[in-house]
Amino acid sequence: METVLLLAHTEPDGALAKPALECLTAALALGGPLTVGLVGARVEAAASQIAGCGAARFLAVTGEAFAQPRYSTDAAAAEALCRAAGAAIAMAPSTSRWARALPGVAYRLGGRVDTHATSVAAENGAPAVTRWFYRQRMEAVLSRRERPWVILLDPGCFAPWSGPAGTASVEPAAVAVPETRTTVTGVRSPKADEQTIRPDAKLLFVAGAGWTKKQSDGAVHAAEAETLILGFLRAAQASLGGSKSLVDLSGEGEAVLRFMTHLNQVGQTGSTPRHPKGLSTCCHGEEPHVVGWRFVNQRRAINLDPNCGWARGKADVLYVADAFEVMQHVNRLLGA
């Protein structure tokens, strides 16, 4: 099997996050000699965390310039690590930081890149990548002749590596800090006062445009909808998704759910989150939305229309009912 480089960046606390440990599992499964390449202000804690993984080498690019996610510095660091390791395959978790920088690194190295891999397996001594095309509507297995081959692995596809911590001997990789015109000034949360997107939640709760339409009494109850949804999210620690029609209403300035932004959008032009369960409410379950549910295993929906998309084989259970009424009872049962 070919040589493999795992690229991982540290988190603000100096450790490696779960996606990096998942990617380590995938890299080890390929069976080739493994080098670990670490990037961050300091990497001692991260190297110790995975010292027992069996890697042949630990390389690192360190320093304050490499603490913050930024294309130019991240690309320079990854390029230096790839050149120092000389590996045929470079694997990295598909974090926003690596997804931004590594395609450009593949170009610099004269290699190729594949992103959003959901599986990587050795076939006839070479890796084969599984990934989705057309927004999760079809799945392909592909391989490449060019090397190095940079592969970004989606989170949630492998079990995170776990093993004893220890002490690793880390070799510095030489890199000049590139000139940059970009200054990272901070991180901003959405306008909403509380977190509604929880990638690790067991349940995805999706709200559709029906929450903002006239109800049986002929009136719109957006404020009540907000209270019900936020109450449920708090009690269930669920993650919030929205249909395109609902988040578009928000963008058009109509009186809608104030905490709903495009960041919550699930579907063809939104995200494809991974959760064990999903509950859809007031949403018709049409195909462009449901492609965003590809990685939600158990699906239930509440909708007044018994002929909606969810009824056509897209949900396990469709409750034909008034979501306002049902969610009031759910919240009461959850103590919200």
Asked if residue 100 binds other proteins (CB under 8 A), the reply is yes
Q: What DSSP element (H or E) covers 327?
A: helix 323-334
243: closest CA among 283, 196, 278? Answer: 283
| Least distance from other proteins to the Cβ atom of residue 166, Å | 28
Cα 79 from Cα 66, distance rounded (Å): 13
22 membership: H or E segment, kind and range:
helix 18-30
* Token pair in block for residue 323: 């979501």
3-state SS of 267-298 is CCCCECCCEEEEEEECCCCCHHHHHHHCCEEE
Distance of closest approach, residue 80 Cβ to other proteins, in angstroms: 14
User: Is residue 255 near other proteins by the rule CB under 8 A?
Assistant: no
Binding range to other proteins, per CB under 8 A, among 29-37, 81-89, 126-134, 164-172: 126-134
- The answer to whether residue 126 forms part of the interface with other proteins (CB under 8 A) is no
Q: Which is nearer to other proteins, 125 or 186 (CB)?
A: 186
Site for other proteins in 33-72 (CB under 8 A): 69-72
What track of x and - describes contact with other proteins for positions 266 through 305 (by CB under 8 A)?
--xxx------x-x------xxx-----x---xxx-x---
CB of 152 to other proteins, least distance (A): 8
In whole angstroms, the minimum distance from the beta carbon of 17 to other proteins comes to 9
Q: Which is nearer to other proteins, 227 or 269 (CB)?
A: 269
Q: Residue 230: what are its φ and ψ, rounded to 5°?
A: -65, -35
Q: In the bound complex, what is the minimum distance in angstroms from residue 253's beta carbon to other proteins?
A: 9
Pick the piece of the chain touching other proteins (CB under 8 A) from 25-33, 53-61, 97-105, 210-218. 97-105
Q: Quote the least distance from Cβ 277 to other proteins, whole Å.
A: 7
The answer to whether 247 and 261 have CB atoms below 8 angstroms apart is yes
Question: Is 145 near other proteins (CB under 8 A)?
Answer: yes
Residue 251 in contact with other proteins, rule: CB under 8 A: yes
C-alpha–C-alpha distance, residues 244 and 275, integer Å: 19
The reply on whether position 314 binds other proteins by CB under 8 A is: yes
DSSP assignment of 54-71 equals --SEEEEEESGGGTS--H
- Asked whether 122 and 31 are in contact (CB, 8 A), the reply is yes
